[in-house]
Amino acid sequence: MEEIKHFINGKDWTGNQHMDVVEPATGRPYARLPLGSQAEVEAAVTAAAAAFPAWAGLPAEQRAAPLLKMAELLRNRQEELAQMESRDSGKPLWLTRKVDIPRAARNLEFFATAIQHQQSEAHPMQEGLLNLTLRKPLGVVGCISPWNLPLYLFTWKIAPALAAGNTVVAKPSEITPYTAFVLGQIAREAGLPDGVLNILHGTGPEVGGPLVAHPQLAAISFTGGTATGKAIASVAAPMFKKLSLEMGGKNPNIIFDDADMEKALDSAVRSSFTNQGEICLCGSRIFIQENIYESFRDAFVARVKQLNVGAPEDPNSFMGALVSEHHLQKVLNYRQLALDEGGTMLCGDEPLSLPSTNAKGYFMRPTVFEGLGPACRINQEEVFGPLVTLQPFRDEAEALALANDSAYGLAAQLWTNDLGRAHRMSERLNTGIVWVNCWMVRDLRTPFGGMKHSGVGREGGWEALRFFTEPKNVCLNYSI
């Protein structure tokens, strides 16, 4: 068994209590995770607080240097890290090679360079009076991330926090902790000063809870489920901590009859089932204009049936394993619920053909339902797995009403060649992100996040750097 350690004040820390980390594709434990508690939180926050003045006082390019070095070291170890991420999460190796690890390096590079271009504002008044708006780092901040894009989302928070001059106590998901553990080693090798980044492992309640409640933490940046976000907000808000919450989604994918059908079909398959459907941006409610409903449905289902589910290291596997036995069971329970609610399963129950080493892994076939109305639980609750529903709509007004009939508001997809409709719908969809004739096209400068139960605040670009800094207006009277 491999041994994962906390990273506190530049040193490895072990613990007395451990839990197993399981490889989802085989069901076998392969590493031991230390279960942190209040004591580790205290040590990490103390180290981060001690490191803050010197780190915050460095010129931006001197903070950028170790972050760029970390990105370089990540790229040097890209293949090894891609294998670790695939083993830890069950997702295909081609995906961690192509997306997860390159993007983690890119996050560090992006914010290490962005901070060197950051501008502050000045508002001159009449002669002799000038406002200067300074942007100061907050202090010690907490970054808490989920299991679906482990290193990708971990670095997406840590990079802007550090670049802006904060020191960080970060907690990856206990389900996929391995690459975060390696990131600590990489930070040390890159020369990041001790205490600037601290990485704690363990469960949400035992590590995340005390971290959120710690009085010295100025801000929490959280990505995960909506119920967890609510619990975090209930602790952090009365303490007046700054909060960024990126939470769940139930995203609509709307296909009009004038769309490019081939492209819409290709994209619908990808946006439904990439990463086993375990991306907050996946489109899980597919709305199809009624006059093309049957032809689109049949072509979509035919393509989904062709998708390979298999060993993560097999380059032909479009989908790997779901992240845990618990999560697989949750998705299967939703599949049963969809049947109980009267839905028709168009595909998803075909037998799996897996290598014997994967016989105990957490696999399921991509699953498509129809015949379920918008009020059904399956169309209202986040499943976060390879299960989507199809629903017909008449016209623009009905598509909009169906799409907006959700407690969530993260991302929407819109497939149409009518420019006016694309603008009208984009304006009226209650989501933080709209993709027109595309999906998952990401520019790191753009605001990223959701409305309603999907989130509070935005990540990405200047939004992230604004979140991790406090504006201070200084009004100068230089006429005396």
Q: Give the shortest CB-63-to-ligand NAD separation in angstroms.
A: 25
Residues 311, 93: Cα–Cα separation, whole Å: 9
Residues 79, 459: Cα–Cα separation, whole Å: 28
- Regarding 248 and contact with ligand NAD (CB under 6 A), the answer is yes
Nearer to ligand NAD, 335 or 453 (CB): 453
Residues 39, 84: Cα–Cα separation, whole Å: 28
- Known catalytic residue: 143? no
Cα 359 → chain centroid:
29
x/- letters, 432..451, toward ligand NAD (CB under 6 A): ------------------x-
Residue 65: phi and psi, rounded to 5, are -60, -55
Sign, CA dihedral 214-65-163-230, equals: negative
- Regarding 100 and contact with ligand NAD (CB under 6 A), the answer is no
Q: Which residue is catalytic, options 40, 109, 246, 370?
A: 246
Q: Give the shortest CB-450-to-ligand NAD separation in angstroms.
A: 6
Segment lying near ligand NAD (by CB under 6 A), choices 99-107, 199-207, 259-267, 362-370: 199-207
Nearer to ligand NAD, 7 or 147 (CB): 147
- Regarding 457 and contact with ligand NAD (CB under 6 A), the answer is no
- Regarding 221 and contact with ligand NAD (CB under 6 A), the answer is no
- Known catalytic residue: 280? yes
Nearer to ligand NAD, 96 or 416 (CB): 96
Binding residue for ligand NAD, selected from 24, 137, 160, 208, defined by CB under 6 A: 208
Binding residue for ligand NAD, selected from 193, 225, 371, 374, defined by CB under 6 A: 225
Nearer to ligand NAD, 63 or 103 (CB): 103
Do the beta carbons of residue 170 and residue 29 sit within 8 Å? no
x/- letters, 124..163, toward ligand NAD (CB under 6 A): --------------------xxxxx----x----------
- Regarding 320 and contact with ligand NAD (CB under 6 A), the answer is no
Amino acid at the residue 93: L
Q: Give the shortest CB-398-to-ligand NAD separation in angstroms.
A: 26
The interface with ligand NAD within residues 346-385 (CB under 6 A) comprises: 382, 384
> How would you label 228-238 residue by residue, b for 16+ Cβ within 10 Å and e otherwise?
bbebbbeebee
Binding residue for ligand NAD, selected from 6, 87, 103, 171, defined by CB under 6 A: 171
Residues 258, 417: Cα–Cα separation, whole Å: 6
Q: Give the shortest CB-228-to-ligand NAD separation in angstroms.
A: 3
- Regarding 251 and contact with ligand NAD (CB under 6 A), the answer is no
- Regarding 416 and contact with ligand NAD (CB under 6 A), the answer is no
Q: Going by C-beta distance under 8 Å and a sequence separation of 6 or more, which residues neighbour residue 399?
A: 254, 256, 287, 289, 393, 425
Segment lying near ligand NAD (by CB under 6 A), choices 48-56, 94-102, 198-206, 300-308: 198-206
Supply angle C-alpha 152, 178, 13, rounded to 5: 120
Q: Give the shortest CB-17-to-ligand NAD separation in angstroms.
A: 16
Segment lying near ligand NAD (by CB under 6 A), choices 222-230, 267-275, 333-341, 472-480: 222-230
Q: Going by C-beta distance under 8 Å and a sequence separation of 6 or more, which residues neighbour residue 251?
A: 281, 282, 283, 284, 285, 408, 410, 411, 412, 413, 431
Q: Going by C-beta distance under 8 Å and a sequence separation of 6 or more, which residues neighbour residue 453?
A: 226, 247, 248, 407, 408, 409
- Regarding 299 and contact with ligand NAD (CB under 6 A), the answer is no
Q: Which residue is catalytic, options 23, 174, 280, 463?
A: 280
Binding residue for ligand NAD, selected from 164, 200, 410, 425, defined by CB under 6 A: 410
For the beta carbon of residue 80, count every other beta carbon within 10 angstroms: 12
Q: Give the Å distances, CA to CA, from 33 to 2, 12, 19, 186, 343.
A: 9, 13, 5, 19, 41
Nearer to ligand NAD, 195 or 248 (CB): 248
Residues 163, 158: Cα–Cα separation, whole Å: 8
- Regarding 43 and contact with ligand NAD (CB under 6 A), the answer is no
Q: Give the Å distances, CA to CA, from 298 to 96, 262, 294, 353, 367.
A: 31, 13, 6, 24, 14
- Regarding 407 and contact with ligand NAD (CB under 6 A), the answer is no
Using the structure block, give the residue that is written with the tokens 């998708």.
Answer: 307
Alpha helices in 58-141 (DSSP H): 60-76, 78-89, 93-95, 101-114
Helix, strand, or coil (residue 469): strand
Q: How many residues bind ligand NAD (CB under 6 A)?
A: 32
Q: Which DSSP symbol is given to 121? A: E
Q: Give the shortest CB-36-to-ligand NAD separation in angstroms.
A: 11
Using the structure block, give the residue that is written with the tokens 């119920």.
Answer: 227
- Regarding 246 and contact with ligand NAD (CB under 6 A), the answer is yes
Residues classed as catalytic: 246, 280
Point out which residues bind ligand NAD (CB under 6 A). Answer: 144-148, 153, 171, 173-174, 203-205, 208-209, 212, 223-225, 228, 231-232, 246-249, 280, 382, 384, 410, 450, 454-455
